[in-house]
Amino acid sequence: MKPGDVLTVEERELLLQRSDVQAWIHVLGAWTLIFGILMLVGYFPSVFTLLLAWIVLPGRQLSLAVLMHEAGHGSLFKTKSLNAWVGQWLCALPTLGDLESYARGHASHHRFAGTREDPDLPNYGAYPINKRSLYRKWRRDLTGQTGLKLLITLASGAGSQMSKETVGTKNLLAKQLFVHFVFASILLALGVGWTWFVWMGVFLTSYMWVVRLRQVGEHAVVPDSLDPDVRMNTRTVEAPLWQRFLVAPNNVNFHLEHHFMAGVPCYNLPKLRALLRSKGCLDGLTNVTGYGQVLKLAVAE
């Protein structure tokens, strides 16, 4: 199933339209919630507010990662320069990512999805797994082991012997440190500087769990992960609003549609799904209506 076989030229052009206003609403909306949550914790520290941050903040961190992903596709803003600058400095670096390297690797994922050459296949290819294995992964995520492994990988890459690639890694690490210094300074100016540690604590624990859930929801236990038809190797989760707020922001749950037509901005993906449904392209597919159902699919009987 290809876009040209299903959609008219006019439909494709409409779906591919990018809006700087919509993009800024998504980016600034994410940061407004981030500062709002951290200020709530900072001004009213308690077990309740810390728990609230641990539950709600991962979705905001994922929101930045999703917007980095959109910028990597060049589909967030109208211009290449805005996609590059906002995608890197306001989305990628705060979550210890890098727009250029992510976009390069992610392009391979789109090119080889549905084949054994998909570089992301190790993230979901083993599912379904038994409950013991799943709980072991969750325990590593929620106790910070997965996050610390990520930090060690970043640090070891920057500390290895000098090479062109290592110089790039050191420059990236310097940018990440600079962005986090600015972030922490703003929090300090707001009187809640210590909440930067809340941000990092969440990033190293519950955020890692949310990222794993997203990966499982997108490509694990699909009809056929080695079938090039996007309807077979990718899933959309039509989750309720509260689940999308917590674990699938910026319409990232519409993943089948994203793989079908990767240039469509995230804010147009629901329109694309409605079009595909109206044309009968989704007939016969299992309707997954929440991430609880995703987890049930991920566990072997």
Residue 153 has pLDDT above 90, yes or no: no
Q: According to the model, what pLDDT value does residue 182 have? A: 98
List Cβ neighbours of 83 (8 Å cut-off, separation of 6 or more).
Answer: 71, 72, 74, 75, 76, 77
3-state helix, strand, coil in the chain (%, to 5): 70, 0, 30
The whole model's pTM is what?
Answer: 0.93
- Give the mean pLDDT of 18-30: 97
- Give the mean pLDDT of 243-272: 96
Domain boundaries defined on the chain = 3-298
Confidence bin at 154 (pLDDT 50/70/90): confident
Confidence bin at 157 (pLDDT 50/70/90): low
Q: According to the model, what pLDDT value does residue 125 have? A: 87
Tokens of 81: 């320069």
Q: 176-216, pLDDT tens digit by residue? A: 999 999 999 999 999 999 999 999 999 999 999 999 999 99
Please state, for a pLDDT cut of 70, what percent of the chain lies above it: 96
Q: According to the model, what pLDDT value does residue 168 have? A: 67
Q: According to the model, what pLDDT value does residue 163 have? A: 52
Q: According to the model, what pLDDT value does residue 160 have? A: 55
Residue 166 has pLDDT above 80, yes or no: no
Q: According to the model, what pLDDT value does residue 165 have? A: 57
CA distances (Å), origin 223, targets 84, 148, 232, 250: 35, 34, 5, 25
**Across the chain, what does the average pLDDT equal?**
93
Poorest-pLDDT segment among 144-153, 162-171, 225-234: 162-171
Rounded CA-CA distance 283/290 in Å is 19
- Give the mean pLDDT of 204-233: 93
Q: What is the CA radius of gyration of the chain?
A: 19
- Give the mean pLDDT of 47-55: 98
Confidence bin at 286 (pLDDT 50/70/90): confident
Q: Which of 131, 74, 118, 65 is nearest to 296 (CA)?
A: 131
Confidence bin at 167 (pLDDT 50/70/90): low
* Bond from prior residue into 3 cis (ω within 30 degrees of 0): no
Rounded CA-CA distance 83/77 in Å is 6
- Give the mean pLDDT of 138-158: 89
Q: 78-130, pLDDT tens digit by residue? A: 999 999 999 999 999 999 999 999 999 899 999 999 999 999 998 888 999 99
Residue 5 has pLDDT above 80, yes or no: yes
CB burial readout 13-33, b (16+ within 10 A) else e: eebeebeeebbeebbeebbeb
Q: Which of 154, 253, 180, 259 is nearest to 210 (CA)?
A: 253
